[in-house]
Amino acid sequence: MKQSNRRPSAGFGAIAAIFVLVVLASLAAAIVRLGQSTQTGSAQDILGARAWTAARAGTEWGLYQALKGSWSTCSGVSQTLDLRADTGVRVTVRCSSSIYQEGQDSTGAAQTVRLYTIDAVACNSTSACPDNARAVQPGYIERRRQVQATQ
């Protein structure tokens, strides 16, 4: 009887090499995807910070208009500020006010206080903020800031 000289592990090296290549390709694809997600997240963080800064500027501008500028009664006034050249966002500033009685002075006359509410919404829209049509799209950033002041 003749004995065969065939090795039982012939061809195993090629299968192992293909397996290693598939694993390395999968790992490379996962790393690339993670890098893209990180880059997108960082870009949205930067846009969010710019929108927050623009909303803060909008509330400060609105307070100035209400307390020292042309919005003395501040009854439903609204204006959109275009800050796209500086921050890449627009800010819609709205103002409303209410008058409250705060007791009486020493002569018995009623003291009134006006409460101003300034609402600023900053977004990276091409129209006024908030932009409900763009809010469902990726890449849309919106920040809202509201302040109250009395006079």
Q: Which residue has the higher pLDDT, 128 or 108?
A: 108
Question: What letter represents residue 70's amino acid?
Answer: S
Least confident of 63-67, 95-99, 131-135: 131-135
Query: What is the rounded distance in angstroms from the CA atom of residue 128 to the CA atom of residue 91?
Result: 7
Mean pLDDT within 11-36: 86
* Beta-bridge partner residues of 93: 79, 120
Share of the chain above pLDDT 70, in %: 93
In order, the DSSP letters of 1-60 are -PPP---TTTTHHHHHHHHHHHHHHHHHHHHHHHHHHHHHHHHHHHHHHHHHHHHHHHHH
| pTM exceeding the 0.75 threshold for the entire prediction | no
Model confidence band, residue 72 (pLDDT cutoffs 50, 70, 90): confident
Question: pLDDT value at position 123?
Answer: 93
Question: pLDDT value at position 5?
Answer: 62
Model confidence band, residue 43 (pLDDT cutoffs 50, 70, 90): confident
Query: What is the rounded distance in angstroms from the CA atom of residue 35 to the CA atom of residue 28?
Result: 11
| Residue among 52, 53, 58 nearest 147 (CA) | 58
Question: pLDDT value at position 6?
Answer: 60
